[in-house]
């Protein structure tokens, strides 16, 4: 018997489509996070706080961490408004950990 969101292949048990759903969530997170980082970095570059060579690595780090945070939040929470708070808190916690690790990384001059 097929269920919504399930893929059935003859001879194999049905598998859910949650992995592709998480990939889509991660993609959206990367786009949103990368776009926000790009806008912030352009302003920082105009003020002289960051060089053009630092923009791409910073945008990439932010996009990747946003993608991971969004995917983790999506994995933790099921769909629905009742779990929106859990998704937000989980995503914020993951991003906080990435930022804290980046700040405390001795390679960043801190």
Residue 25 token pair: 């969530």
For the segment 19-38, the average pLDDT, to the nearest whole number, is 90
The CA distance from 47 to 55, in Å, is 13
For the segment 27-40, the average pLDDT, to the nearest whole number, is 93
Asked if residue 26 lies in contact with residue 70, where contact means CB atoms within 8 angstroms, the answer is yes
Question: pLDDT, tens digit, for every residue of 67-99?
Answer: 988 888 777 765 565 566 777 788 888 888 888
């Amino acid at each position: 018997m097929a269920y919504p969101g399930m893929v059935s292949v003859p001879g194999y048990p049905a598998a859910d489509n949650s992995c592709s759903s998480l990939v889509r969530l991660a993609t959206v997170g990367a786009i949103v996070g990368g776009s926000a980082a790009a806008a912030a970095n352009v302003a920082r570059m105009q003020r002289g706080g960051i060089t053009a060579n630092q923009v791409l690595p910073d945008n990439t780090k932010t996009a990747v961490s946003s993608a991971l945070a969004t995917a983790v939040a999506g994995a933790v929470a099921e769909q629905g408004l009742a779990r929106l708070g859990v998704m937000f808190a989980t995503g914020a916690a993951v991003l906080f950990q990435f930022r804290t690790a980046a700040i405390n990384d001795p390679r960043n001059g801190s």
